Amino acid sequence: MTRGFSFSLPVMVVVSAIAFVYFCTVFVFTDRWFGLMTSPGIMNAVAYTAVAVMCVLNYVFAIFMDPGRVPSTFLPDIEDSKVPIHEIKRKGGDLRYCQKCSHFKPPRAHHCRVCKICVLRMDHHCAWINNCVGHANYKVLLVGSLTNDSQNDKQQSADSFRILYVISGLLLVPLSMALSGLLGWHIYLILQNKTTIEYHEGVRATWLEERAGNAYKHPYDLGAYDNLTTVLGSNIICWICPTSKHIGNGLRFRTAYDGLPVTSTSK
């Protein structure tokens, strides 16, 4: 499912930065280092263009792909033995219900006040894609980070091109640091089978359990490998493909308590 697009200044900044870096890399740096019409120059330009196209496609998918919204007909079945966990409100203990969308919220779903919808397995709202990161587009965003080519090669240049090197460095160095940190953070979350929201909720839950003398365990933590395949899929060959057909409908997730009596968690 795709979604509409409205003007977003952060997205325009990202698009402009991508276009500038690509133009400088291919038509200025590659041309000066190898000669654009030589064999090494053509090979470098083609390889860089292929990576750039993959990055742009993933970025476009992340912007226009619906993050996964809760069906208006969703109703939790508390008597279903195949669903061992039901999330309830911290106050009152009722099943979670969205007053704005007028429907119940399945596990791991949250309402986004920017997108104005309840998002399945919501991680966070990202201004840089003007979209939520959720069940349907999380892998797309991750693959985009993995394929981002933001190397900052140190080369000598003539004075007339020095400004391009300076601007490129100012773009690429912080971009590389930010994307590396973001990639590392989400790899950690994937290995724990957590969203960003669940991480922060888990900090509080751990504190509360420790006060009660218990050990907290994230209910969706299936082990590192199973957690990884939950997001990327069971077929390793398809891990770098920006698809989401393997992840199910987002209304139910495997838990560490499958097969055990039904329990509830507060949200």
Q: What is the pLDDT of residues 167-197, one digit of tens each?
A: 777 777 888 888 889 889 999 999 999 999 9
Cβ–Cβ < 8 Å for 221, 227: yes
Q: What is the pTM of this model?
A: 0.75
pLDDT at residue 180, as a whole number: 87
Asked whether the predicted pLDDT for residue 155 surpasses 60, the reply is no
Torsion angle (degrees, nearest 10) of CA 229, 233, 239, 243 = -140
Tens of pLDDT, residue by residue over 117-145, are 999 999 999 998 999 999 888 888 776 66
With 0-12 / 13-18 / 19 or more C-beta atoms within 10 angstroms meaning exposed / middle / buried, residue 21 is: buried
Rounded Cα–Cα distance for residues 226 and 129 (Å)? 28
Rounded Cα–Cα distance for residues 44 and 31 (Å)? 10
pLDDT at residue 152, as a whole number: 44
How does DSSP classify residue 245? G
How many H helices and E strands in the chain?
Answer: 7, 8
- The β-bridge relationship of strands 131-133 and 97-98 is unpaired
Asked whether the predicted pLDDT for residue 153 surpasses 60, the reply is no
Mean pLDDT of the chain: 81
What residues act catalytically?
126
Rounded Cα–Cα distance for residues 153 and 1 (Å)? 39
Percent helix, strand, coil in the chain (nearest 5)? Answer: 45, 10, 45
Q: At 40, is the secondary structure helix, strand, or coil? A: helix
Tens of pLDDT, residue by residue over 67-91, are 989 988 888 877 766 666 777 777 7
